Amino acid sequence: MAQAIETIDVEVPVRTAYDQWTQFEEFPKFLDEVESITQTTPILTVWKVKVGPVEKTFEAEITEQHPDERVAWTSTGGEVDHAGVVTFHKLSDTETRVTVQIDWTTDGILEKLGAAIGSDGRAIKKDLANFKQYIESKGQADGAWRGDVQA
């Protein structure tokens, strides 16, 4: 199983960063490989991603969600086997540290090679930089879901 952990500090309050992250259908605005996300229930999403020429679809279930602290998920069906968590850490009233950890099963030689040379970590780092630019330029979240999901 491959793993990537990346962190970025964003110049918005923790609530703003967290609230934006709960707006899954908005992810294509800052996650390069995400074509679309459809939230079918409060805890189930359907993802369509494209990495290079390869398109994949999968479902992800929110397994844990606590406002201003963390969102964890795992894939439940489709072409991608992975799980992850994003955590939010208040650095000050106007700055938040966002940390993403993703674990996944590589499928095929290209994915195994990509994991071995760290290209997945670089992609996550780039997506976090995109998130930073997106949320800092707006200064507010597109919406919010403040519910709590227990594992």
pLDDT tens figures, 9-18? 999 999 999 9
pLDDT the model gives residue 108: 55
Distances (CA, A) of 149 to 60, 91, 136: 14, 24, 27
Per-residue model confidence (pLDDT) at position 106: 62
Q: What is the DSSP letter of 149?
A: B
**pLDDT tens-place string over residues 95-116:** 999 999 999 886 654 454 444 4
pTM of the model: 0.89
- Domains of the chain, by residue range, sit at 2-19+62-138
At 119, is the pLDDT very low, low, confident or very high (cuts 50, 70, 90)? low
The CATH number assigned to the domain with range 2-19+62-138 reads 3.30.530.20
pLDDT of residue 5 exceeding 50: yes
